[in-house]
A = this chain, B = another copy of it.
Amino acid sequence: MKTYLDCIPCFFKQALESARMAGAGKKTQKRILNEVAAILPEFSLTSSPPEIGRDIYRLAREITKKDDPYLKIKDKSNKLALGIYNKLKKKVEHSHDRLLTAVELAIAGNIIDYGVKNSLDVSAELAKILNEENKVIKEENKEIFDYVRFKSALKIAKTILYLADNAGETVFDRVLIEEIKRIDKDKRIIYAVKEKPVINDALIKDAYVCGIDKLAEVVSSGSDAPGTILSLCSKEFLSMYRKADMVISKGQGNFEALSDARREIFFLFMAKCPVIAQDVGCRVGDVILFSHRGKREKHN
């Protein structure tokens, strides 16, 4: 997805948030905003938002000299999500369609705000995300929630590349991967995280803490962009990306980076902002599960 002009105010917002997360004082925060402003004329709107986002987060890291400003929040998110893991499993076990419920949970895990929450709040927020209204949306609009195509692709895939998004969400990914393995324990699953810290994106450590390593091969994409930008990924990762029978991509950042990819990719995320919603053709807050290829075919 290309960067829209509406993303520009949001880049400043992200830079400010990142500066604050790094504990920068007001002067440093302003300096970071000035530096973002200085590179704004160079932003190419044909780049995807995570490409520009990467420059912005780097700049904030360099100026604040904090390599991983979101470390605490990531650790907290993992802990809180692990705290409701048993609840998530019960939800799956008691559902009519275990896989569908696991998919819904994996998407819901993407938008929980772990900021100032305890596991009770996280459970409550989860219930809100998975409310009946969303279910109606999914049933009404198969174009943005194409579970049938997802299930068919999953059935025949032997190797699945799973692109992670945030820490904490990793626990929800584990629940989905467990369901996939339950269907066929011989499926090979590769779980790809970011190479270096960027926002609250999961790193190898987060995947291990959340127990993903017991189910999947945990690898790094080789990049520190807040989305899987292929041109920045390692050769090893690209080889896995090409060879995988199926790619499952989590989160908005990965969608932004890969929405024009040549191979089929299944995107699982919640539309968090009006720009994405417009690009996808959905509403803010919609639960998304589609492959861009499947979506195009339905259109033609």
Contacts of A34 in B (CB 8 A): 40-41
Name A30's contact: one of B12, B30, B33, B45 (CB within 8 Å): B45
Which residues in window 1-27 of A have CB below 8 A to B? 5-6, 8-10, 12-13, 16, 26
Q: Is A124 an interface residue (CB 8 A)?
A: no
Cα distance A33–B38 in the bound complex, in angstroms: 11
Q: Is the CB of A13 within 8 A of B9?
A: yes
The oligomer's copy count stands at 2
Name A12's contact: one of B9, B26, B41, B45 (CB within 8 Å): B9
Q: Is A78 an interface residue (CB 8 A)?
A: no
Q: Is the CB of A41 within 8 A of B45?
A: no
Q: Is the CB of B45 within 8 A of A40?
A: no
CB distance from A76 to the nearest CB of B (A): 23
Take A30-B45, A40-B37 as given contacts and tell me if A12 and B8 are in contact as well, using a CB distance cutoff of 8 Å. Answer: yes
| CB-CB nearest in chain B for A42 | B34
CB distance from A159 to the nearest CB of B (A): 41
Q: Is A291 an interface residue (CB 8 A)?
A: no
Q: Is A29 an interface residue (CB 8 A)?
A: yes
| CB-CB nearest in chain B for A29 | B5
Question: How many residues of chain A get a CB closer than 8 Å to chain B's CBs?
Answer: 19
Cα distance A5–B12 in the bound complex, in angstroms: 10
Contacts of A38 in B (CB 8 A): 37
Cα distance A16–B7 in the bound complex, in angstroms: 11
Q: Is the CB of B8 within 8 A of A16?
A: yes
Take A5-B16, A9-B16, A16-B9 as given contacts and tell me if A37 and B41 are in contact as well, using a CB distance cutoff of 8 Å. Answer: yes
Counting chain B CB atoms within 10 Å of each CB, the highest count among A9, A36, A40, A45 belongs to: A9
Which residues in window 147-196 of A have CB below 8 A to B? none
Contacts of A9 in B (CB 8 A): 9-10, 12-13, 16
Cα distance A277–B202 in the bound complex, in angstroms: 33
Contacts of A33 in B (CB 8 A): 5, 8, 40
Cα distance A45–B38 in the bound complex, in angstroms: 18
> Binary interface profile of A, 94-111, with partner B (CB < 8 Å = 1, else 0)?
000000000000000000
Extra pairs beyond A5-B16, A34-B40, A37-B41 (6, CB < 8 Å): A5-B26, A5-B30, A6-B13, A9-B16, A26-B45, A36-B37
A-B contact pairs, 22 of them (CB 8 A): A5-B16, A5-B26, A5-B29, A5-B33, A6-B13, A6-B16, A8-B12, A8-B16, A8-B33, A9-B9, A9-B12, A9-B13, A9-B16, A12-B12, A26-B45, A30-B45, A34-B40, A34-B41, A36-B37, A37-B37, A37-B40, A37-B41
